[in-house]
Amino acid sequence: MNEFQTVLMPTLSVRRGAEAIEFYKNAFGAVELMRVADPDGAVVAEMSIDGARFFLADESPAYGNFSPETIGGSTTRMGLFVADPDAAARQAIAAGAIEVYPVADQNYGYRLGRVLDPYGHHWEIAKKIE
Amino acid sequence: MEVIKTAFAPMLIIKDGVAAVEFYKKAFGAIEVIRFSNDDGTIHVSEMSLDGAMFHIRQETKERGDFDPGTINGHTILLELVVEDPHAVHARAVAAGGKEMTPVTDYEHGMRQGQVKDPFGHVWLIEKKLFDHSKNK
């Protein structure tokens, strides 16, 4: 039987990457799996939120990797599906994320709320409801 | 009770969502699970499934800071797509109109990876792990 699981792992471009690693630990209970730091302090890190892996890297505008702060917006939002979106959003806000709108049952079948993190990334924290 | 597994479902901002849905179907064999359209026929949000991995497509709204990658000539999030057969997925994405940034290559760090930029400017790193470093520690 084929048990291979196709997975999507976002890589966030940020400024102040080393600081962002600590924020994501506090905000989402993320665990740092790996970190590579350049002499100039720029980092690439692999993180996991309850088994869901993502990466973050200091921006490299020369390669088209922009932090949301640089462009005043973003090209992708972080959708994060969890068992308890209310608790996850509360923790993120307590850690310094800004609530864009509160977690609530949405008419499209998700319980979902949105927060903006200090690095400019929007997180839609959700679970499916029927 | 169903156990909910924590997972990312990136929401890709795209100017031409209708074309994007068709591209992702062709390029990745994605399925459109549900579409919410705007009155003018553009896509507000579509929920897509890529072999069980969820992602969304959302209409660009610049005034809200939601930018199509083409608008800013870059991106704020890269998408890593972990698949069983990176060669096949990469080749199919390129055949569907994606631009090869790097061919699928086996790297010393233990990953088989190749990068494709889709016609909307989103960059996908198509990959699989060949061996696990952590087992050698």
Q: What does the domain layout of chain B look like in residue ranges?
A: 11-136
On the question of pLDDT at B85 being above 70, the answer is: yes
* Chain A residues closer than 8 Å to B3 by CB: 83
Name the more confident of B131 and B135: B131
For the CA atoms of B17, B28, A125, A30, the dihedral, rounded to the nearest 10 degrees, stands at -140
Q: What pLDDT does residue B1 have?
A: 53
Chain B residues inside the 8 Å CB shell of A55: 78, 80
Contact A75 B13 (CB under 8 A): yes
Per-residue pLDDT, B133: 60
Determine the Cα–Cα distance for residues A77 and A17; give it in Å rounded to an integer: 18
From the list B10, B45, B72, the residue facing A8 with the nearest CB is: B10
Kindly state the average pLDDT of the residues B30-54: 96
Q: Does domain B11-136 have CATH number 3.90.1150.10?
A: no
Give A11-69+76-128's CATH code, choosing from 3.10.180.10, 3.40.50.1220, 3.30.700.30, 3.30.70.1150.
Answer: 3.10.180.10
Mean pLDDT for the stretch of residues A45-73: 97
pLDDT 10s digits, A82-105:
999 999 999 999 999 999 999 999
Cα(B123)–Cα(B119) distance, integer angstroms: 9
Q: Give residue limits of the domains in chain A.
A: 11-69+76-128
What ipTM was predicted for this assembly?
Answer: 0.93
Q: How much of chain A is helix, strand and coil, in % rounded to 5?
A: 20, 45, 30
Distance, in Å, from the CA atom of A1 to the CA atom of A5, rounded to the nearest integer, reads 12
Q: Given the structure tokens 């048990």, which residue do they identify? A: A3
Q: With contacts defined as CB-CB under 8 Å, which chain A residues touch B31?
A: none
Q: Tell me the sheet residues that pair with A125.
A: A80, A113
Q: Which pLDDT does position A4 carry in this prediction? A: 87
B67–A7 CB contact, under 8 Å: no
Question: What's the token pair of residue B94?
Answer: 């390129």
Tell me the pTM. Answer: 0.94
Residue B88 has pLDDT above 50, yes or no: yes
pLDDT given for residue B137 in this prediction: 45
Distance from CA of B75 to the nearest CA of A (A): 5
* Option in A2, A6, A76 nearest B12 (CB): A76
Which strand (E) or helix (H) includes residue A81?
A: strand A76-81
**Mean pLDDT, to the nearest integer, of B72-85?**
97
Long-range contacts (CB closer than 8 Å, 24 or more residues apart) made by A92-96: A92/A27, A92/A28, A92/A117, A92/A123, A92/A125, A95/A23, A95/A26, A95/A27, A96/A23, A96/A26, A96/A27
- pLDDT at res. B3: 75
CB pairs under 8 A between A and B: 159
Q: Is residue A78 scored above 80 in pLDDT?
A: yes
Instruction: Read off the pLDDT of each residue in A46-67 and give the average, rounded to a whole number.
Output: 97
